[in-house]
């Protein structure tokens, strides 16, 4: 049975979430002009933790919250912010980090013995070809190190997904808020060790209103609103209906970066985006398409 379409208001909410998640890469770029990347990540999760005063801790083991917080905080966003600090453009970062889908599948294969289907191998090949195109066009704004760091962020995100999956069905807003408690110590320690107290103090003194708005947007818009709204939609609709809309995140990311930051979109970049999105789309949409084909061919 095919998944039903979203009602118009729910569709608008889903589009608002993916628009926030996509254009958030522009916000990150702006914030990194004033704040060192690890300090920025520390501030993000400090603000994301504040709702723990009113949001109940989910009934999951502390070790799950700790693992998720370290993987998403220091792993995903620590590496992503370092990469976006002059090593990769915001639009390409929004695209490359979506490879977390394939890392998640790979982890499931290794850890749980889940099989990989033929269409998933094809999807992986398409996405890998797109990443290869990006790597072949390295320049001052798209460095091999930047691509590698974002791939590391995607791997950390996938590992975090695996931890969250092992926690079962939980309130993801509470999960994200309370896991932020464990993202803070490694991020703060790394910021102190690598960026230094002098640079931290200078950045905090010199940060303008725009930088603090960007930090709040990371915590409130991207984290709290995004996860809460997405979780609300997933609780009311099949995942097969909601999940494909995440394909629009890099579309908003690349378009926002082009429009607001002037990031160029040459043919090779659009081609790479097409390959990665084709791989992601095939992985998400092929099961539904195959179901529809089977139902269309079934006798009345």
pLDDT in tens, 28-41: 999 999 999 999 99
196 pLDDT higher than 60: yes
User: Considering only 1-10, 83-92, 239-248, 287-296, which range has the smallest mean pLDDT?
Assistant: 287-296
Q: Residue 139: phi, psi to the nearest 5?
A: -150, -165
pLDDT mean over 154-166: 89
The reported pLDDT for the residue numbered 281 is: 85
The reported pLDDT for the residue numbered 194 is: 96
Encoded tokens for 285: 């949409």
Yes or no: say if 25 and 256 are a contact pair by the CB < 8 Å rule: yes
Alpha helices in the chain (DSSP H): 8-31, 37-49, 62-70, 78-84, 90-96, 100-112, 118-136, 144-166, 172-190, 197-206, 209-216, 226-236, 239-242, 248-261, 267-297
Alpha-carbon distance 37 to 168, whole Å?
32
* CA 122 to mean position of chain CA atoms: 22
The reported pLDDT for the residue numbered 67 is: 96
145 pLDDT higher than 90: yes
- The conformation of residue 133, written as its DSSP 8-state character, comes to H
* pLDDT range class, residue 4, cuts 50, 70, 90: low
The model's pLDDT over 66-107, given as tens digits with 9 standing for 90+, comes to 999 999 999 999 999 999 999 999 999 999 998 988 888 888
* pLDDT range class, residue 294, cuts 50, 70, 90: low
Q: Within 13 Å and on the Cβ side, how many CA atoms surround 272?
A: 26
Q: How many CB atoms lie within 10 A of CB 79?
A: 23
- Dihedral sign of CA atoms 43, 48, 52, 54 in order: positive
The model's pLDDT over 216-266, given as tens digits with 9 standing for 90+, comes to 998 998 888 888 888 788 777 776 677 778 888 899 999 999 999 999 999
Yes or no: say if 256 and 22 are a contact pair by the CB < 8 Å rule: yes
Q: How many CB atoms lie within 10 A of CB 1?
A: 6
* pLDDT range class, residue 296, cuts 50, 70, 90: low
* pLDDT range class, residue 185, cuts 50, 70, 90: very high
Encoded tokens for 82: 């370092």
pLDDT mean over 103-127: 81
186 pLDDT higher than 90: yes
Alpha-carbon distance 244 to 288, whole Å?
11
Alpha-carbon distance 80 to 37, whole Å?
9
pLDDT mean over 54-67: 93
The reported pLDDT for the residue numbered 57 is: 93
200 pLDDT higher than 70: yes
Closest by alpha carbon to 100, among 167, 27, 21, 168? 21
299 pLDDT higher than 60: no
Q: Mean pLDDT across the chain, nearest whole number?
A: 88
Cα angle for residues 194, 198, 204 (degrees, 5° grid): 100
The reported pLDDT for the residue numbered 286 is: 79
Alpha-carbon distance 255 to 257, whole Å?
5
Alpha-carbon distance 49 to 43, whole Å?
10
The reported pLDDT for the residue numbered 232 is: 81
Locus of tokens 């905080």: 73
Q: What is the DSSP string of 52-88?
A: GGTSPPPSS-HHHHHHHHHIIIIIIIHHHHHHHTTTB
Alpha-carbon distance 100 to 105, whole Å?
9
The reported pLDDT for the residue numbered 1 is: 46
Yes or no: say if 162 and 108 are a contact pair by the CB < 8 Å rule: yes
């Amino acid at each position: 049975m095919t998944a039903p379409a979203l009602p118009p208001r729910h569709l608008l909410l889903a589009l608002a979430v993916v628009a926030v998640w996509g254009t958030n890469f522009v916000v990150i770029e702006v914030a990194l002009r004033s704040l060192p990347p690890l300090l920025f990540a520390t501030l993000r999760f400090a603000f994301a933790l504040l709702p723990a005063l009113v949001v109940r801790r989910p009934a999951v083991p502390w070790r799950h919250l700790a693992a998720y917080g370290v993987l998403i905080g220091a792993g995903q966003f620590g590496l992503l912010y370092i990469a976006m600090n002059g090593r990769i453009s915001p639009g390409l970062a929004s695209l490359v980090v979506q490879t977390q889908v394939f890392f998640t599948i790979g982890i499931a294969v290794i850890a749980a013995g889940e099989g990989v289907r033929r269409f998933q191998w094809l999807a992986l090949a398409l996405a890998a070809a797109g990443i290869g195109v990006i790597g072949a066009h390295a320049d001052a704004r798209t460095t091999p190190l930047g691509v590698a760091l974002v791939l590391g962020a995607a791997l950390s995100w996938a590992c975090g997904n695996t931890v969250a999956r092992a926690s079962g069905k939980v309130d993801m807003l509470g999960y994200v808020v309370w896991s932020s408690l464990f993202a803070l110590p490694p991020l703060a320690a790394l910021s102190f060790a690598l960026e230094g107290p002098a640079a931290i103090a200078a950045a905090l003194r010199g940060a303008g209103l725009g930088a603090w708005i960007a930090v709040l947007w990371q915590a409130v818009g991207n984290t709290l609103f995004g996860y809460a709204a997405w979780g609300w939609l997933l609780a009311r609709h099949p995942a097969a209906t909601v999940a494909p809309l995440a394909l629009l995140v890099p579309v908003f990311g690349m378009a926002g970066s082009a429009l607001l930051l002037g990031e160029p979109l040459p043919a090779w970049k659009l081609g790479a985006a097409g390959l990665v999105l084709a791989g992601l789309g095939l992985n998400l949409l092929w099961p539904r398409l195959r179901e529809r084909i089977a139902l269309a061919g079934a006798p009345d």
